[in-house]
Structure 1
Amino acid sequence: MTRILSNFAEISANYNLALVDLWGCVHNGQAIYRAAEAALQGFRKAGGCVVLVTNSPRPTIGVQAQLDGMGLARDAYDGIATSGDAAQAGMLMGAVGRRVWHLGPEKDDGFFTSLPDWAKDQPPIERVPFDEAEGIVCTGLFDETTEAPEDYRGRFLSAKARELKLLCANPDIIVDYGDTRVYCAGALAQLYDQMGGESFYFGKPHPPIYDLARRVATATGLKFSEERTIAIGDGIATDVKGGMGEGVDTLFITGGLAAAEFGTDVESPDPALLYKWIAQQAIQPTFSIGRLR
């Protein structure tokens, strides 16, 4: 049975690596959760390594700038692994062709322009209009504030008829931006799959981003072991499922995406509601906590 914690320090000594989600765990898209920041700082001071593992479609440099802008202390983490990094590598290797249609907002242009050094040895990726594309690179909706996945059904019918493959740079379905819930690239890829199209995923809960996170961690000198690693996040189908798939313990943050399911106090989930909900998901976290602290 999932053990409900009061704070991360109750179990943190059992681990030397924490793979920590960002949105809904460390921040809400607008502000840092200072208790979470302090918990990560404490873990690192005790000798732990923190890798922030996010399904953001942006490469690390973009996520780093976002975190700096929100004021997350640099001593709260050792490195960052993003779905954008993992998906970008897939794109550069030609996963969906080299002439691609970008489905996503202008703010994600860095996915195509902030390239790793090794990209110079790869044939170039060209962004082209939809009618000229060999494949689709999806970083999100064009306008997440006004659109929904169903708005893209017509375009996806055409893409399916042309047998275009879709590279999903962010497998998240939804995210809370402050108090506003918006759709992510994963919702579009999910619709395309349901329509009979083919999508490729690189972020949580899929293996590529965990391979990247391990490499980020070992670059700090850490000797990786599953037994000493914990995955932390508010996505039961991403953070928890992904961590379980990697054979590591998991800490489910109940005060994130699913907070409304567990009572009125986001800091203290109702145990009866929590256990009932977990049973319905058929995904069993090792631990849970209202908010990371």
Structure 2
Amino acid sequence: MTDLIPSLASISDRYDAVFCDLWGCLHNGQTPFPAAVAALRAFRAKGKTVLLLTNSPRPKSSVINQLARIGVPIDAWDEIVSSGDATQYALLSGAVGTRIHHIGAPKDETFFTDLPQDAPQTPITRVPLTDAEGVVCTGLFDDLTETPDDYRATLLMMKARDLKMLCANPDLIVDLGDRRLYCAGALAQAYEAMGGTALYFGKPHPPIYDLARRRLAALTGRDDANILAIGDGIHTDIQGGIGEGIDTLFVTAGIAAHEFGPDPARPDVTRLNHWLTNLQLSPTHAIPLLA
């Protein structure tokens, strides 16, 4: 049975580092959560390491800029690894060819321009879908107004040409304030439902954790840290952590909050454990809000 805890501090002595999700745990896309910021600062004050592990399709530099823009202080974290980072390595390794069609918003352009220097420097050419060897999906062009249904014709054309989709963000949905938006993972899911092939490198898949462990080791000088994965995505943050053999902390007041009663700050423990049992997933700990 998952242990419902009052605060990160109550278990922090057990861990050397956390892999903490961003959206839904540290901020809502518009403003940071003060209690979560305080919790991560307190964790770092004990000489421990906070690595922010996000399924953002954009590279680390863009994530840093976004955090600064919405007011997340830089002393709340030590390092960042994004799904965009891990997916860039796959793209530059030739996972879907070199003539690439992009599905995504202008805000995601840094995926193609801010490339890691330690990855293969494979020349990538952006082309129309009719000329593409593969597709990179960073998200919807306009996630404020569009849904996956708007991409049905595009996905059917991709399937007819047997193109692989490199999905830069496995998340299906995210909450921007009180609005629910679709992510790249929702398009990849729709493509797979048509029989298409989608490739993933963010949570819960191993490549992003491999990259996170490398960056953590480079930062701390050790490769044996006891890590806690924190997140509100049961099929991404929690399933991924369990798959990596590390302890997990499930934030119940995130995207699944409606499953546990009317008050997100006071989840119904019986409903929580019944829901987890049905999913056959068992986080090590749970917490209403990261604090």
Same fold (TM over 0.5): yes
AA matched with 2:172: I
Higher alpha-carbon deviation: 159-168 or 263-272? 263-272
Residue aligning to 1:257: 255
Provide the C-alpha distance between the structure 2 equivalents of 1:206 and 1:77, rounded to a whole number of angstroms: 23
Kindly state the Cα deviation for residue 219 of structure 1 after the two structures are TM-superposed: 1.2
Asked if structure 2 preserves the Cα contact closer than 8 Å seen for 1:174 and 1:183, the reply is yes
Kindly state the Cα deviation for residue 275 of structure 1 after the two structures are TM-superposed: 1.1
Residue aligning to 1:69: 69
Higher alpha-carbon deviation: 274-283 or 7-16? 274-283
AA matched with 1:23: W
The 1:222–1:6 alpha-carbon spacing in structure 2 relative to 1, beyond 3 Å, is: farther
Asked if structure 2 preserves the Cα contact closer than 8 Å seen for 1:104 and 1:138, the reply is yes
User: Are 1:205 and 2:210 counterparts?
Assistant: no
Higher alpha-carbon deviation: 201-210 or 260-269? 260-269
The 1:248–1:118 alpha-carbon spacing in structure 2 relative to 1, beyond 3 Å, is: closer
Provide the C-alpha distance between the structure 2 equivalents of 1:54 and 1:100, rounded to a whole number of angstroms: 24
CA offsets 1:135-154 (integer angstroms, 9 cap, x no match): 00000011112211122222
Kindly state the Cα deviation for residue 222 of structure 1 after the two structures are TM-superposed: 4.5
Residue aligning to 1:291: 289
Q: Secondary structure at the match of 1:219?
A: helix
Compute the TM-score of the two structures, normalised by the length of structure 2.
0.97
Compute the TM-score of the two structures, normalised by the length of structure 1.
0.97
The equivalences for 1:32-47 within 5 A come to 32-47=32-47
Provide the C-alpha distance between the structure 2 equivalents of 1:131 and 1:255, rounded to a whole number of angstroms: 43
CA offsets 1:192-226 (integer angstroms, 9 cap, x no match): 11111111101000001001111111111242337
Provide the C-alpha distance between the structure 2 equivalents of 1:165 and 1:53, rounded to a whole number of angstroms: 25
Provide the C-alpha distance between the structure 1 equivalents of 2:9 and 2:158, rounded to a whole number of angstroms: 49
CA offsets 1:117-176 (integer angstroms, 9 cap, x no match): 245x62311111111111000000111122111222222122112110000000000000
AA matched with 1:73: P
The equivalences for 1:268-283 within 5 A come to 268-283=266-281
Residue of structure 2 aligned with 1:246, choices 244, 247, 271: 244
Provide the C-alpha distance between the structure 1 equivalents of 2:117 and 2:88, rounded to a whole number of angstroms: 12
What is the RMSD computed on CA atoms of the aligned residues? 1.1
The equivalences for 1:96-175 within 5 A come to 96-118=96-118, 122-175=121-174
Asked if structure 2 preserves the Cα contact closer than 8 Å seen for 1:268 and 1:289, the reply is no
Provide the C-alpha distance between the structure 1 equivalents of 2:36 and 2:158, rounded to a whole number of angstroms: 42
What is the percent sequence identity of the aligned residues?
55
Asked if structure 2 preserves the Cα contact closer than 8 Å seen for 1:16 and 1:49, the reply is yes
AA matched with 1:252: F
Which contiguous aligned blocks of 4+ residues in structure 1 show a shift greater than 6 angstroms? none
Provide the C-alpha distance between the structure 2 equivalents of 1:3 and 1:229, rounded to a whole number of angstroms: 17
AA matched with 1:32: P
Asked if structure 2 preserves the Cα contact closer than 8 Å seen for 1:262 and 1:274, the reply is yes
Residue aligning to 1:183: 182
Provide the C-alpha distance between the structure 2 equivalents of 1:222 and 1:124, rounded to a whole number of angstroms: 33
| Unaligned ranges ≥5, structure 2 | none
Provide the C-alpha distance between the structure 1 equivalents of 2:284 and 2:224, rounded to a whole number of angstroms: 17
Provide the C-alpha distance between the structure 1 equivalents of 2:198 and 2:285, rounded to a whole number of angstroms: 32
Kindly state the Cα deviation for residue 265 of structure 1 after the two structures are TM-superposed: 2.1
Q: Aligned pairs, how many?
A: 291
Q: Secondary structure at the match of 1:146?
A: coil
Kindly state the Cα deviation for residue 3 of structure 1 after the two structures are TM-superposed: 0.3
Q: Secondary structure at the match of 2:219?
A: coil
